[in-house]
Copies of this chain bind each other. A is one copy, B any other.
Amino acid sequence: MTEWHSTVTPPALARLLDTAARLPQPTGRRPTYRRLADQVRTLVSEGRLPVGARLPAERELAAALALSRTTVATAYEALRADGYLRSRRGAGSWTTLPEGAPPPGDALHPVPPDEQGHTLDLGVAALPAPQPYLGEAAARAVEQLPAYAAGHGCYPTGVPVLREAVARRFTQRGLPTTPDQILITTGAMGALHLLHRALVGPGDRVAVEGPSYPHTLQALRRSGARLVPVPHAWPGGPELMPSWDLPEWQRVLRGAAPKLAYVMPDFHNPTGALIEEEQRRELLAAARASGTIVLADETTAELGWGLERAAGAPTPAAPAAFPRPMAALDRGAQVVTVGSASKLLWGGLRIGWVRATPALVRRLATDRVYSDVGTPVLDQLIAAVLIGERLEEVRTHQLERLRASAGALSAALREQLPGWRFAEPPGGLCLWLATDGLSGTALAQAGERGRVRIAAGTRFGADGAFENFIRIPLTVPAPAAHAAVERLAAVAEQAATGDRWPTADGGSPLVA
């Protein structure tokens, strides 16, 4: 079996290792080869070095790092022993995953069901399904199935009843939309995947928020894009919500003229920030001037669970006061919007959508013949019932759950980790925590030993930024919040003092 492997050049790996090397050094002194092996392992398990990437030859990497060849050879040997590297004479060495290892970007992946009893998952920001609504909608969809079962079941643009329901919902939110502007996709990632292929060529610049959603950053990197991060502005410090740094956006758009700008204006992941309408307008004006397409990711747009805290704050029931969707402010087909049912309804449905011009919708429907062909019919029927008929009840149900979780987690954090700082966001799925100088990566590694999965802040940065942050999801049920933060605090204690990696012979409890 000879898979294809992209090659990491010695300078590229040296740069990645340089970011990894900024981690605080553990107390115990470990040999250089072990530290090198551990850093490579971190890069793989964070998803910054792809699985299947061919590493430089030992001699070349030794030269690039100014280490002895023996050190590099011993580090590669240690990685092979840990199951993170495979080598074959003549073919080189490439990264791999040990059996039973969580996939890279592990903390952003759900814990496998057979681990769930043992592990506290603070990585995945995904809710259980709203019941009984999902079950009821599924039963309704099964009743509608016979009419569809008589046909081939293939709908490249989506089942009409769902395209209509999604278009109506956009219209309700202040953005008049017709069904031919909607493409139903296999989750929001399915939408982003198609759009990256259609809109971004190798070498094209893409401006992204800093921080941003890690899977999108990684997907853009893989498609050959050059990321240009534009950090959020945090004028009030981590206790206050950030916003866009508009002068910086204007500078980047004017100077780099990126092909695409990827933004999450509504309850941004990971910070929860809600961008006000005036900033949206100004960013659009700058994008229009530079010919940049704005890709507005509205995956979390319906999750405004904290809006009522501000007295007299606008609600989605009074959408005129709420900042309008980016596309509603658009005057030149400059905005493409992505949405998802995964957060409000259920990730197990894998329903997402694109809102774009009918011409782009047709092109994307063509392109998907070479990936997923279409999205399953039954899930589309379920989503059509929930979005078309039960949306307010489902929203109330899910937002109440998020609100309770946010309240309980915030209280527990203030009590048990008083040095950590965070804002209480107006919505979204996460809290973004400044860890009082602790390395988020070290926290994630200590969590691996303590069976607490933690999403390190660096995952959300385009360039290894946000080392002293972690993200925790509002999916911890409120009654479990205190105990969860207790475990997080214990991990923090350990991260501040302990070695970062289990010894090679000790093995990791998560890689059993």
Stretch at the interface among A228-236, A363-371, A484-492: A363-371
A interface residues, tally (CB under 8 Å): 87
CA A457 to CA B295, docked complex, whole Å: 40
A300 at the interface (CB under 8 A from B): no
Say which residue of B4, B135, B146, B186 sits within 8 Å of A186 (CB atoms): B186
- Whether A189 lies near B360 (C-beta < 8 A) is no
Q: Which of A142-163 contact B (CB under 8 A)?
A: 142, 145-146, 148-154, 156, 160
A449 at the interface (CB under 8 A from B): no
Name the CB-closest residue of B to A196. B370
CA A149 to CA B376, docked complex, whole Å: 18
Name the CB-closest residue of B to A219. B370
CA A374 to CA B379, docked complex, whole Å: 13
Name the CB-closest residue of B to A151. B128
Stretch at the interface among A60-68, A346-354, A402-410, A438-446: A346-354
Report which residue of A101, A154, A348, A373 has the largest number of chain B beta carbons within 10 angstroms of its beta carbon: A348
CA A152 to CA B112, docked complex, whole Å: 10
Q: A198 to chain B: which residues have CB within 8 Å?
A: 3-4, 52
Say which residue of B109, B134, B150, B222 sits within 8 Å of A128 (CB atoms): B150
CA A454 to CA B153, docked complex, whole Å: 19
Min distance, Cβ A373 to any Cβ of chain B, angstroms: 5
A105 at the interface (CB under 8 A from B): yes
Q: A347 to chain B: which residues have CB within 8 Å?
A: 152-154, 373-374
- Whether A199 lies near B4 (C-beta < 8 A) is yes
Q: A146 to chain B: which residues have CB within 8 Å?
A: 131, 135
- Whether A348 lies near B377 (C-beta < 8 A) is yes
A391 at the interface (CB under 8 A from B): no
A200 at the interface (CB under 8 A from B): yes
CA A362 to CA B4, docked complex, whole Å: 15
Name the CB-closest residue of B to A218. B370
Name the CB-closest residue of B to A351. B376
Whether A215 touches B370, Cβ cut-off 8 Å, given contacts A52-B198, A154-B126, A156-B109, is yes
A21 at the interface (CB under 8 A from B): no
CA A80 to CA B127, docked complex, whole Å: 48
- Whether B350 lies near A104 (C-beta < 8 A) is no
Whether A160 touches B97, Cβ cut-off 8 Å, given contacts A149-B348, A378-B379, A382-B378, is no
- Whether A215 lies near B149 (C-beta < 8 A) is no
A334 at the interface (CB under 8 A from B): yes
Q: Which of A94-136 contact B (CB under 8 A)?
A: 96-97, 99, 101, 103-105, 109-110, 113, 116, 124, 126-129, 131, 134-135
Q: Which of A71-104 contact B (CB under 8 A)?
A: 96-97, 99, 101, 103-104
Whether A371 touches B1, Cβ cut-off 8 Å, given contacts A152-B124, A377-B348, is no
- Whether B358 lies near A99 (C-beta < 8 A) is yes
A320 at the interface (CB under 8 A from B): no
Q: A113 to chain B: which residues have CB within 8 Å?
A: 151, 160
A190 at the interface (CB under 8 A from B): yes
A483 at the interface (CB under 8 A from B): no
- Whether A104 lies near B374 (C-beta < 8 A) is no
Name the CB-closest residue of B to A124. B152
- Whether B376 lies near A376 (C-beta < 8 A) is yes
Q: A370 to chain B: which residues have CB within 8 Å?
A: 189, 193, 215, 218-219, 222
CA A219 to CA B369, docked complex, whole Å: 8
Say which residue of B219, B346, B376 sits within 8 Å of A350 (CB atoms): B376
Q: A218 to chain B: which residues have CB within 8 Å?
A: 369-370
Other than the given A134-B149, A135-B145, A152-B348, 12 more pairs (CB < 8 A) read A51-B367, A103-B369, A126-B154, A128-B151, A131-B149, A135-B146, A138-B142, A139-B142, A153-B349, A186-B373, A348-B376, A348-B377
Jot down 23 A-B pairs with beta carbons below 8 A, ordered by A.
A1-B293, A1-B332, A1-B333, A1-B334, A3-B199, A51-B362, A51-B363, A103-B366, A103-B369, A126-B153, A126-B154, A128-B150, A135-B149, A138-B145, A142-B142, A153-B348, A189-B371, A189-B372, A193-B371, A193-B372, A219-B370, A349-B376, A376-B378
9 closest pairs, A vs B, by CB?
A: A153-B348, A129-B149, A348-B377, A126-B152, A219-B370, A153-B347, A186-B372, A4-B201, A1-B333
Residues of A in contact with B (beta carbons under 8 Å apart): 1-4, 6, 51-52, 96-97, 99, 101, 103-105, 109-110, 113, 116, 124, 126-129, 131, 134-135, 138-139, 142, 145-146, 148-154, 156, 160, 186-187, 189-190, 193, 198-201, 204, 215, 218-219, 222, 259, 291, 293, 332-334, 346-350, 357-360, 362-363, 365-367, 369-379, 382, 475
